[in-house]
Chain A
Amino acid sequence: MSNKILEFKNLTKKFGKFTAVDRVSFSLREGEILGLLGPNGAGKTTTIHMLLDVLTPTFGEINYFGKNLTDHRSEILKRVNFSSAYISLPWLFTIEEALTVFAELYEIPNKKKRIDKLLSEFEIEHLRKKQVYKISAGEKARLLLTKAFLNYPEIILLDEPTASLDPDIAVKIREFLKRERKEYKVSMLFTSHNMNEVEEMCDRIVFLNKGKIIAEDKPENLAKQISDSEVELLIEEDEKATRLFTREKITYLKDRNIFRITIKTIEIPHLLTLLTSNEVEFQDISINKPGLEDYFLKISKGVKK
């Protein structure tokens, strides 16, 4: 994962006085899955649209495979594809017709074979004669992914690829994406509101806020930036525990015999020692460590403020 196959520098988009994307620079390596996250209005879609050349940057440079997008647009887009929950395919076309048109636009050899393989992969081969407007939202998401993989893309931009999919299908799609990356070194730029999916899929995450990159790291490292964990204790001798927590000034929430305590992760051993030394027995314990979702929520709250 060393070759940078997509790289952009100081990408900026201004709409009048409003700056939607502000001097954003990052790169995508061969075979890498990069998550592009951020709250609504952070600039994710604007960035993706600039990368697809359907939105002209105010300034900044976009290079795919070492070539400038503006100068080599058609040649580059032949090796790139995308899928988004916000677009569709001609709604009166049958699935087969819609895919045939795109297979020809991407000049794919053996287009029928390729279409058949992908329809089977995404489990929608039985819908090939059905018109696009007659299929469900989940089937449409799979159809758009089929279109996105038609041209054996080396880079694929996925905007909410598993939105509106049933969990079992979403799992299969994720497995497919991982396989494509492993077998063909397909690089992916991935946006999703499903944080578990992002944590599972992405090697690295770029977090955008108000058009600027505010964090860029591995998912687990971003999660570590949230220092608080939630400890849930089931304590039958709740009066004894209440006295201890009050004395030690430990803030808690109590629901019958369950105590919820939010403390810094590194202080959890100290809490457990305290309970033991004061002979407060707990019947059950669960520790909720911070995840990417907590990081996302923290950042989002910051945005609202």
Chain B
Amino acid sequence: MSIRRILAMNRRYFYTLVHNYDRLSDSIYWPLMDLLIWGLTGLYFAGLSENSEQTIAVLLTGIIFWIVTWRSQYEITVNLLSEMWDRNLVNIFTSPLKLSEWITAVMLQGGVKMTISILFSGAIAFILYKYAFFQFGLWLIPIIISLCITGWAIGFSVAGLIIRYGQKVQTLAWTGAYVIVPFSAIYYPVSILPSWAQEVSKIVPTSYIFEAMRQHISSGHISLEKIVVSFALNALYLLLSILLFIYGFRESKKHGLGRLI
């Protein structure tokens, strides 16, 4: 692997961010809107409940944590799509760039933009609601890494379908991640899900993280077991998703990448 080529791809996606207002609004506008709408809604409902502080904390942390997963998957899928929209896909994959280097570059890009988004969202939450989501302390590190890996795994699965079937399935870049949202139990505990959905949530890594989040908000402690299970599931899914992407890429090459530009 060449570090220079990985950095070159990161430069390429950084320029896209700078020039493209769509991408800037994805990074700033939508997280801001989510925090405003859900934060204010949370404030209203919190006023109706006995435990108002916890309610608002669950909502705001849920929003910020979901941004981690969303952004890390979005960077992978939309960066792949941007090559197709720019008719640049053939240029990129006729260069010496290896597929492993592209994979590393978009993971890195997703990680960086996720960090920017989370810092931005955390600051907004503090300014608007005096909510310090950094109260999770060092637990934030494994939590964010786990959520980020889930995002990568979703991203590569969707990217595998996009590279194989082209822009006709591009809507998955925006909708794909939401498949796991109901089972992730972001704003509610897993226990309120129907029994069949609770079974599904057992294989969704984010459900363990959001359960851990609520546990920390209510008791100040986190069960290490939840974090470990989420990491184990994530490791498996990330591996499978990368294999799926490589398979999709190879299948696509049988039909020609030139058809996708």
A residues with a Cβ closer than 8 A to B are 15, 45-46, 49, 52-56, 73-75, 77-78, 80-82, 84, 86-93, 97, 100-102, 104-107, 131, 147
Identify which of A77, A82, A101 contacts B11 (C-beta below 8 A): A101
Q: A49-B90, A87-B90 are in contact. List 8 more A-B contacts (CB 8 A).
A: A54-B94, A55-B255, A56-B254, A78-B96, A82-B94, A86-B87, A86-B258, A105-B5
Q: Which residues of A contact B4 (CB under 8 A)?
A: 104, 107
* A52-B96 in contact (CB<8A): no
The 3 closest A-B pairs by CB, nearest first: A104-B8, A92-B19, A55-B256
Per the bound structure, the CA–CA distance linking A131 and B86 in Å amounts to: 13
* B7-A101 in contact (CB<8A): no
* A75-B96 in contact (CB<8A): yes
Q: Which residues of A contact B12 (CB under 8 A)?
A: 90, 101
Identify which of A54, A74, A105, A147 contacts B253 (C-beta below 8 A): A54
Q: Which residues of B contact A92 (CB under 8 A)?
A: 15-16, 19-20
Q: Which residues of A contact B98 (CB under 8 A)?
A: 73-74
For B9-26 the 0/1 string (1 means CB < 8 A from A) is: 101100110011000000
Per the bound structure, the CA–CA distance linking A9 and B96 in Å amounts to: 23
* B5-A54 in contact (CB<8A): no
Per the bound structure, the CA–CA distance linking A176 and B4 in Å amounts to: 30
* A106-B96 in contact (CB<8A): yes
Decide if B128 is an interface residue (CB 8 Å cutoff): no
Q: Which residues of A contact B169 (CB under 8 A)?
A: none
Per the bound structure, the CA–CA distance linking A23 and B111 in Å amounts to: 46
Identify which of A84, A88, A102 contacts B86 (C-beta below 8 A): A88
* A107-B2 in contact (CB<8A): yes
Per the bound structure, the CA–CA distance linking A78 and B9 in Å amounts to: 16
Decide if B51 is an interface residue (CB 8 Å cutoff): no
* A54-B93 in contact (CB<8A): yes
6 contacts between A and B (CB under 8 A): A49-B258, A55-B254, A88-B88, A90-B15, A93-B15, A100-B11
Identify which of B15, B82, B256 contacts A54 (C-beta below 8 A): B256
B residues with a Cβ closer than 8 A to A are 2, 4-5, 7-9, 11-12, 15-16, 19-20, 82, 86-88, 90-98, 250, 253-258, 261
Q: Which residues of A contact B82 (CB under 8 A)?
A: 90
Min distance, Cβ A164 to any Cβ of chain B, angstroms: 15
Q: Which residues of B contact A75 (CB under 8 A)?
A: 96
Q: Which residues of A contact B96 (CB under 8 A)?
A: 73-75, 77-78, 105-107
* A15-B255 in contact (CB<8A): yes
Per the bound structure, the CA–CA distance linking A75 and B97 in Å amounts to: 10
* B254-A88 in contact (CB<8A): no
Please give me the residue from chain A that is nearest to B82 by CB atom. Answer: A90
Q: Which residues of B contact A147 (CB under 8 A)?
A: 91
Min distance, Cβ A13 to any Cβ of chain B, angstroms: 9
Known A55-B253, A97-B15: A89·B86 in contact at CB below 8 Å: yes
Residue of B7, B12, B255 with most partner-chain A CB within 10 A: B12
Please give me the residue from chain A that is nearest to B12 by CB atom. Answer: A101
* A91-B86 in contact (CB<8A): yes
Min distance, Cβ A48 to any Cβ of chain B, angstroms: 9
Min distance, Cβ A144 to any Cβ of chain B, angstroms: 9
Please give me the residue from chain A that is nearest to B260 by CB atom. Answer: A54
Per the bound structure, the CA–CA distance linking A91 and B9 in Å amounts to: 16
* A56-B250 in contact (CB<8A): yes
Identify which of B19, B95, B256, B258 contacts A102 (C-beta below 8 A): B95
Min distance, Cβ A103 to any Cβ of chain B, angstroms: 8
Identify which of B8, B255, B256, B261 contacts A105 (C-beta below 8 A): B8
Min distance, Cβ A188 to any Cβ of chain B, angstroms: 16
Min distance, Cβ B133 to any Cβ of chain A, angstroms: 34
Min distance, Cβ A286 to any Cβ of chain B, angstroms: 44
Q: Which residues of A contact B250 (CB under 8 A)?
A: 56
Per the bound structure, the CA–CA distance linking A87 and B87 in Å amounts to: 5
* A90-B88 in contact (CB<8A): yes
Q: Which residues of A contact B93 (CB under 8 A)?
A: 53-54
Per the bound structure, the CA–CA distance linking A227 and B253 in Å amounts to: 43
Please give me the residue from chain B that is nearest to A49 by CB atom. Answer: B258
Identify which of A78, A80, A86, A101 contacts B15 (C-beta below 8 A): A101
Known A54-B90, A87-B88: A107·B5 in contact at CB below 8 Å: yes
Per the bound structure, the CA–CA distance linking A102 and B92 in Å amounts to: 8
Per the bound structure, the CA–CA distance linking A89 and B86 in Å amounts to: 6
Q: Which residues of B contact A105 (CB under 8 A)?
A: 5, 8-9, 92, 95-97
